[in-house]
Structure 1
Amino acid sequence: MSGDVANFATVAALVAVAEIGDKTQLLSLLLVAKFRRPWTIMAGILAATLLNHALAAWAGLWLEHFVKPEYLRWALGVSFIAMAAWTLKPDTLDESDAPVKASRFGAFTGTLVAFFLAEIGDKTQVATTALAAKYSSLWMVASASTLGLMLANVPVLLMGDAIMRRVPLDLVRKIAALAFAVIGVITLIGW
């Protein structure tokens, strides 16, 4: 695999695994239960995530330009290790994240608004910012992280609670945490 393809796959895989059991995945489940329009909800999630993660990647690139490379490497390494610890904490969906108020706009707009707002400050958004600073690519990271988020959410939208009952979320959280920790250590030692 070429370097660009490997980086794209790494970003997509990290975000996909980090999204499993995340509050935005729980929001996807609530949205499909409320609206019963999985394809429309998918379109809303895609639009919200593209915008949100493009902004997050832009922030990562902005940081890269204003922080000295040696400080950035340490900050990124530590942030990936912190992301590993954060990934181990199970998410819950706050009432403020629920699609109740946004539902008056219909399935697409309600999903777009609810998902965009729920993703602000979320693990996958923070990871996207750090990954953009690491890989120095807005569009590669934004598109790969969006793909990863969609890979985790589309099955939930299409097969809902049948999947949620069979996936051992604790194991998935541990795998995601290990992946973030490994990337953090690799970043700290300068690979």
Structure 2
Amino acid sequence: MQAFWISLAVIFVAELGDKSQLMAMTFATRFKPLPVLTGITLATALVHLVSVGLGGLIGDALPTTAISIAAGIAFLGFAAWTLRGDELSDEESGKAARTTRNAFVAVTVAFFLSELGDKTMLATITLATQHGWFGTWIGSTVGMVAADALAILVGRLLGRHLPEKWIRYGAAAAFAVFGVLLLAEPLLR
């Protein structure tokens, strides 16, 4: 239980203001909250499971340069896709209203890529070197999902008061910034 509570608190605080929390807010302005939160939870659980495994095996040695470059390119792609926008036919609009699978996949992939090599992943690895893997895994996952749930709530509130065009431009800009930061990260090390 100690590993759970320590990990929950440390990761919750580390996630506040992090790029993935801003991503959660951005996704929440475009998609329903449930697929966003579900995608975040799955991606976080997977990344943090890998993290505690690495923490148990090798501690702090991670090849993050290639991961940062791949994630940066993906985020620039997400920015272009968001900026371009999508036009739905009436039939596609009906399908979109009935399914949340595409939002879930987009959120899961984006969060998985953004969390690889992120400070919360590194913090989870560090915690796993000092505490039990299971408590660290569950605590770090719950802490991150709780912080991102707050961002989803804020994103939904903003989404009700902003024109769709502004939301699309803001989301594209956010993805572009994340992409550039991820590409620049290896150069700044």
Question: Which TM-score band applies after superposition, normalised by the shorter structure?
Answer: 0.5 to 0.7
Give yes or no for contact 2:7–2:143 (8 Å, CA) kept in 1: yes
- The 8 Å contact of residues 27 and 155 in structure 2, kept in 1 or not, is answered as no
SS at 2:17's partner residue?
coil
Counterpart of 1:18? 14
Distance in 1 of aligned mates of 2:116 and 2:30 = 22
Cα offset, 1:162, TM superposition: 6.2
How far apart in 2 are the matches of 1:61 and 1:121? Answer: 16
Pairing of 1:170-185 with structure 2 (within 5 A):
none
Report matched runs for 1:106-125 at 5 Å: 106-125=102-121
Aligned to 2:58, the other structure's residue is in SS state: helix
- Aligned residue for 1:42? 37
| Cα displacement (A) at 1:9 | 0.8
In structure 2, give the amino acid aligned to 1:15.
I
What's the counterpart of residue 149 of structure 1? 144
Deviations 1:87-117 (A, max 9, x none): xxxxxxx674364559997110000000000
* Aligned mates of 1:47, 1:122 — CA distance in 2: 16
1:152, distance to aligned residue in structure 2 (A)? 0.5
> Over residues 134-156 of structure 1, what are the superposed CA-to-partner deviations in whole Å (9 max), with x where a residue is unaligned?
11x22211111000001101011
Alignment partner, residue 28 of structure 1 = 24
Q: C-alpha separation between the residues in 2 aligned to 1:125 and 1:160? A: 24
Cα displacement string for residues 130-180 of structure 1 (whole angstroms, at most 9, x for unaligned residues): 100111x222111110000011010111233869xxxxxxxxxxxxxxxxx
The alignment's TM-score, normalised by the length of structure 1, stands at 0.61
Cα offset, 1:13, TM superposition: 0.4
Superposed CA RMSD in Å reads: 3.0
Q: SS of the residue aligned with 1:124?
A: helix
The 5-angstrom pairing of residues 62-101 of structure 1 reads 62-63=57-58, 96-97=74-75, 99-100=78-79
Please give the secondary structure, in 2, of the residue aligned with 1:21. Answer: coil
Q: Does 1:53 align with 2:48?
A: yes
Aligned to 1:106, the other structure's residue is in SS state helix
Normalised TM-score (structure 2): 0.61
The one-letter code matched in structure 1 to 2:111 is F
By relative contact order (CA 8 Å, sep 6+), the higher-ranking structure is 2
Q: Distance in 2 between matches of 1:62 and 1:145?
A: 18
- The residue type paired with residue 41 of structure 1 is V
Percent of aligned pairs with the same amino acid = 32
* SS of residue paired to 2:41: helix
**Which ranges in structure 2 are unaligned for 5 or more consecutive residues?**
61-71, 87-100, 159-189
8 Å CA contact 2:26, 2:155 repeated in 1: no
Cα distance between partner residues in 2 of 1:123 and 1:162: 27
